[in-house]
Amino acid sequence: MNSPSLPLARTVAALAAIAVASAVLPQTPAGLGTQSLTAQEPAPSPSAALLRRLAASADAFRNGQPVFVVASEVYPHDVIDVYADREAAFRAADSAGIDFHLYGPFVTPQDAGLPLIVLGCYKDDITTRYVCPPIMGGGQDPVFRMEEVDSLRITFFSNLRGPISIGMVRPPSSMIFTLDAFDRFIAPYYLHLFGPEYVVQMREQMMEYVRRGLGIR
């Protein structure tokens, strides 16, 4: 059987993560490309909500190669990881518990034939423009092939507390720094994936995180 391809080529780049989740639904029959924890027991047919989450996870790997997603059949369908190797995915699903299964393979084509990249671009809140620093050459420009990036560290320079750093092993596709950015960009994405109740819970948890960080009761 050929690997199902998510139709990313037709999506607008700025909305790809959301658009692919919608586009995959009518083109992926229930149960297509799923594997169980054992060869004897087929994995349950994925629900529409699970398909959206599988599509969102697979969309992070736009390398034209098949990937396997290990996820829970139980809402909100937690994803353990995405694997290029089927056997590694089987082992992860087996150790994760009875609710977790291997789904795939999924193939996401490269963006315009380019390798997966990390950009040092940002949205300017005042002008609402998306800004990328000028390319100066010399190997110091903020454009990286994903395989070049070992880890990521963001450092905030506070006038009161000095530098505070946040480290990440895998570079995220995006980061937000304000609550209004959560409301405008993150909330609509998770609303599409999981529905309003989930987003309300996410925002409540974020507000609790902010209050604890600021020492507000």
Q: DSSP labels for the chain?
A: -PPPB--GGGS-GGGHHHHHHHHHGGGS-TTTTEE-SSSSSPPPPPPHHHHHHHHHHHTT--SSSEEEEEEESSTT--EEEEES-HHHHHHHHHHH-TTEEEEEEEE---GGGPPPEEE--EE-TTT--EE-PPP--TT-SSEEEGGG---EEEEEEETTTEEEEEEESS--S----SHHHIIIIIHHHHHHHH-HHHHHHHHHHHHHHHHHHHT--
Residue 169 in any domain: the answer is no
Residue 123 in any domain: the answer is no
Q: Last residue of a domain, which of 111, 131, 155?
A: 111
Output the pLDDT for position 139.
Answer: 79
Residue 16 in any domain: the answer is yes
Residue 35 in any domain: the answer is yes
User: Which of 22, 19, 45 has its CA nearest to residue 33?
Assistant: 45
Structural domain including 28 reads 8-111
Residue 154 in any domain: the answer is no
User: Which of 1, 73, 87 has its CA nearest to residue 39?
Assistant: 87
Residues 6+ apart with CB under 8 A from 33: 1, 3, 4, 103, 104, 105, 106
In a shared domain, residues 99 and 184:
no
Output the pLDDT for position 165.
Answer: 94
Q: Last residue of a domain, which of 111, 127, 144?
A: 111
pLDDT tens by residue, the chain, 217 residues = 444 433 333 333 323 333 333 333 333 333 334 444 343 356 788 999 999 999 999 988 888 899 999 999 999 899 999 999 999 999 999 999 999 999 999 998 888 777 778 888 988 988 989 999 888 888 788 888 888 888 889 999 999 889 999 998 887 888 889 999 999 999 999 999 999 999 999 999 999 999 999 898 7
Residue 40 in any domain: the answer is yes
Q: Identify the bridge partners of residue 97 per DSSP, sorted by sequence position.
A: none
If one counts the domains in the chain, the total is: 2
Residue 36 in any domain: the answer is yes
In a shared domain, residues 14 and 102:
yes
- The CA-CA-CA angle for residues 186, 76, 116, to 5°, reads 50
Output the pLDDT for position 42.
Answer: 62
In a shared domain, residues 107 and 13:
yes
Q: What is the token pair recorded at 119? A: 């950009």
Residue 116 in any domain: the answer is no
Q: Last residue of a domain, which of 111, 127, 161?
A: 111
